[in-house]
Amino acid sequence: MRNLTFDELFTLLSPLPVSAAGLARLREWLAAIKDPAECIALIEEAAGGRPCPHCHCPRSHRCGHASGLQRFRCVDCRRSFNALTGTPLARLRKKECWLAYLQCMLDSHTVRQAAAATGVHLTTSFRWRHRFVPGAARERSRRLRAIVEADET
């Protein structure tokens, strides 16, 4: 099986809840990644050539590195950005723990269990849960899909 790209990962995560086949595919992808730097490289590769997240100008140039990520500067608005700007992963620290935390979420660990397993603080675990799965509470089934029986009580 070939490795999934970062875009394919997010397309798997977008329609919540994830199907059993999609979940198995995601677990295989996570198991294939040995080094967190490989994940960052995939993120930068997926974001290559994207327009400025501030003014949507397609022209930008490289402008150094910060926190292990390539920075870019927009030609029009002169603001800088990186591959994570405008994503749920923007401004998060401890990149080396992201994959382990995602694995804990796939294994249905609680916030406390995930914090203990990854070595992050409980409040960090809580914030990451809400960043990694945006809108999970809103993405509920709109209709009933099974047989429902009711009586007068």
Q: Model confidence over 17-46: pLDDT tens digits?
A: 556 777 677 677 767 766 666 666 777 776
What pLDDT does 50 receive?
Answer: 79
Is 149 among the domain residues? no
**In the predicted model, what is the mean pLDDT of the chain?**
75
Q: Which one has a higher pLDDT value, 17 or 101?
A: 101
What pLDDT does 121 receive?
Answer: 93
**Cα–Cα distance between 41 and 134 in angstroms, integer?**
23
What is the percent of the chain with per-residue pLDDT over 90, rounded to a whole number?
7
pLDDT band at 11 (very low <50, low <70, confident <90, very high): low
What pLDDT does 116 receive?
Answer: 94
* 148 has pLDDT over 50: yes
* 117 has pLDDT over 90: yes
What is the percent of the chain with per-residue pLDDT over 70, rounded to a whole number?
68
Is 56 among the domain residues? yes
* 72 has pLDDT over 60: yes
CB atoms within 10 A of CB 4: 19
Domain housing 72: 49-82
C-alpha distances in angstroms, 90 versus 17, 42, 59? 23, 15, 21
Is 63 among the domain residues? yes
Kindly report, residue by residue over 77-93, the tens digit of the pLDDT: 888 888 778 777 777 78
pLDDT band at 135 (very low <50, low <70, confident <90, very high): very low
Q: Which residues lie closer than 8 Å to 28 by C-beta, 6 or more apart?
A: 1
Is 53 among the domain residues? yes
Q: Which one of 71-75, 88-92, 133-137 scores highest in mean pLDDT?
A: 71-75
- Count of structural domains within the chain: 1
Is 72 among the domain residues? yes
92: left (phi over 0), alpha (psi -120 to 50) or beta: beta
**Cα–Cα distance between 54 and 51 in angstroms, integer?**
9
Is 108 among the domain residues? no
Is 103 among the domain residues? no
Is 128 among the domain residues? no
**Cα–Cα distance between 6 and 48 in angstroms, integer?**
12
Handedness of CA 113, 120, 70, 39 (dihedral sign): negative
